A and B are shown apart, each in its own frame.
Chain A
Amino acid sequence: MSVGDYIRDSQIWKSIFRHPAPYDRRNRVVVMLTNFFLHLHPVSIKQHGIALSYTWCMGGITFFLFLVETITGVLLMFYYRPTLEWAFNDILALRDVTTLGIMREIHRWGAHAMVITVWLHMYRVFLTGSYKPPREFNWVVGVILLKLTLLLSFTGYLLPWDQLAIWAITVGSNMARATPVLGHEGPGFQFLNLGGYDLITNASDARFLLLGSRFVGEETLNRFYILHCVAIPLASAGLIAIHFWRVRKDGGISQPL
């Protein structure tokens, strides 16, 4: 009896994988049904639906990059402190002295790649008409996920707390100042006033809500840190689950009707 057989015969192995190795047709079906990670997939799939020149694999890569970002991001969170005193120095140390500081490079390049792959996924879904009935609503979920991907990248942009970071966020968030009605330089902010006093000022408008301050400062760093590490990833994870579930329920990958 070989070592491999010995392991596969053990009680431990059998308690985890409840079927023999997927070498024959029956077990290849069973593995898809009994494995938690694989049960996202159907047991069998139309041949054209797995052709790379049809799918471009961009949705799958986006999801994989999301996982990469989560793992490298959690590792970075062990090291990085989101305060004015430490944020920049921690990133500097990650670059120069920290073991496995390359996690930051992977995290940043992975984020850029994710933005590109999510666009290409949308591009492919549009070009194959895959948003047409019955998949209309999943396209809507996808648009929200696209938006969340951009917001994830945007909030993460601030965390290194260098010149690139704060000025990119300053430029980006200055727009919120001009939000109609809710921004203190937006059209119609005068409508919200009480007895002649403006309710919308630079300390109470949409930009203040985003930054937690009248300019990009420590409150902003904290706010963006929470958004980047907790709030948006949770929202994305939930929507990704719905997105995948609906792909299955709407009949799998799109195909000619």
Chain B
Amino acid sequence: MLNILLNSLKTFSSHKMRTMLTVLGIILAIAVYLISGIYSEAIIKTQSDKYIEFDPHSLYISDNLYSTSVDRLKQSFPDAHVSAFQESPLYRIHTPDEKNNFDVYGVLVGVSLDFERFPIPSLDALDCIKNSTLLYGRSFNNQDFSLNKKVAVINLSMAKLLFGDTNPLGQYVNFDEPSQYMIIGILSDSSDTLRMLERFNNDIAGIEDMTVPFMPFYVPLTSIGYKYPAGKTIVTFKPDVDMFDAYNAVLSLNYSYKNYTYTADSVLTSLEDSVAESNQIINLLVLVMLLMSGMSLSIILIFSFKERLPEIGIKKAIGANDAFILFQFFIENAVLGIVGALFGIVLSFFIIIIATPLILHVPVSSILGVLTWNNVTIPILLSLSVSMAFGYFPSLWAVKQNIMSVLRYE
């Protein structure tokens, strides 16, 4: 066995270029496999570390929870705590001259109309807005709806923030999109208005599949004292609460929450699924590369064995039987596979160490932390399998050659 191994090494050293070409394909395939695998692992680990900070007794709802919903939830779970999960602005409201800009948080109530893009959820709610008492100006009328006018009604606090002492009526405001909306009315910040808006909210909260009631004009309720900044909400339950019950309770508020409600585990699972999905593509790429390197290995081996036919003939002439020659080629193919895998592993680690800080701007330690022995053993086994499988038929072909035709190559 040792003699055969040494003989294989001598064969490689006397055909360096051929050996290098054979190994190169394996090295590249292993490097792609390993780099993609390690980075995927690192992404999952980084994200899971982030999610592990989350309370396992919390539900994460990527939607706003209206006050009535919260109240209903608290009927079942009095100790549930509702808070903002992510206070990133949903919109920016600003004047055309950009002098005043405000990020818009929280539950928003639409008061302008874009029928082409968004349906009206409830005519009652619409009437509620239309018939509300304004401090200044007018509310929406039927002509605004029929002509789809770009008009807006905002509350007094927002008007003061945007325009100071200037009369807001007739002024324009922008939202995220470039269209300007002319202010036609000012709502009071009084409790009557709040109650009216909350009643409106209650109406739309009961409508399934209606997460955005009106677009694109909103009054940010945070600025008029609404309690729950929303957009994304975290609901934390007491440790003794069965999270399955909690989940069902949230769904009973609004079944559409099914698509927006997560536990820490399901967030992680979702992340893993998404990484696994991208990994499938990478794995397919790796598989194709391994198959290609396997096929190129086969082709190179056929040329190599053709070149080595005299050697095969000599060995047969002096007594080597088919099984022995085949075994010797197996050893050679195995050595090529292992050497290719080892170089591929070294190349991968080298690339990871160099590329991670330069391209991903994260410390190498965050990547190296995910390394296990599997990152070494699996590529070696994979490479070994490919080199053995794709080396088998060329080896068999070489072994079955007639000795005399083989010796005539000399």
A interacts with B:
no
> Chain B residues in contact with chain A, CB under 8 A?
none
> Chain A residues in contact with chain B, CB under 8 A?
none
